[in-house]
Every structure is written in structure tokens, then in C-alpha cells.
Structure 1
Amino acid sequence: MSEALGKPVRFQQTSFDAFKERFQQFGFSEPIAQGITDMMYSTNYGLDLDVERTDKNTTPTTFRRWCDDVLVPTLRVSN
């Protein structure tokens, strides 16, 4: 992302409690906020690691290509 955008992009991990609270601040109910938090927890701790990459579930698009083709133009429009 940093290379595609031409400026530093940093990642800051947040606690799962803060993650859930943020969704509730956006108006999500407690059960929905908890469900989204549970999904993120599962993903963070390897839920997706058991999925074998195949031609049916994988595209040839690299993350860098997605940044160039989708992220950068989207941010350019929204600025």
C-alpha cells in the first residue's frame, strides 16, 4: 500500500474489546458487534489458513495490482 500510494501506511492492532465497541458506536447492536468481533478473532487466529488455494477460489490478481487498480483510484476520487 505504501508503495502504491507513495506515502507511508501503518497498521495498528486494536484490542477486540475496542473493535467491538467501535461497531457499537456506529449503531450496531451488541449481538451483531459481538458476531463481527468473533469473526475477526477467528480470522486473526488462523480460520482462513486451512483453505487450500485453488483456481476456483483464487484470482490471478496480486495485492499490488489491486492497490494500483482499485485502491489508488478510489482514494483519488474520494479526496
Structure 2
Amino acid sequence: MEKLAYHMQQQSITTADYIAWAHRRLALLDESPALFKLAAFNEDANIFEIESCFEQAMRELHRTSTLLSRVERDTRNRHRRLCTV
């Protein structure tokens, strides 16, 4: 993400940067419909379509991480209650 953020800040980002980011996220076992779509783009795709897909992937990944955090917290709380009985 740092490399992608650097390119964004420098206004030198390319479709290849977005696609490479998607491939790195998939290698980390992240999943979202938009992430899969972004990884499947060709480098000659329209940059605006790629950016839209990237933004959607970020929203989906954030929702996933928020949901996982909530599930992990609830699981820890249940475990604590069971251990204190």
C-alpha cells in the first residue's frame, strides 16, 4: 500500500500500479469481488475504470476487516465469560 500511496501522492500512478497492488493483496489472501475484478484488468484498461474498481475494493476490504475484528472481539468476550464461570 505504501508504494501505491507514494505513486498517488506523486500523481504518477498507472494502471499497472493498481493491478500489481491487487495481485499483492490476493497473495496475502485478501478477497473481495472488486479485488478479483481489479486483478483481472489489462494494463491498457481505462484508468478511471481501474480507479473506480480500486475504490470499491478498498471499501469491500474495509468492511471485511471491520467484520472480522467484530467477530474476533465477540469470540474473545465469549471465551472470557466461559473461563470465569
Q: TM-score, normalised by structure 2?
A: 0.27
- Structure with bigger gyration radius: 2
Asked which structure has the greater RCO (Cα within 8 Å, sep 6+), the reply is: 1
The alignment's TM-score, normalised by the length of structure 1, stands at 0.28
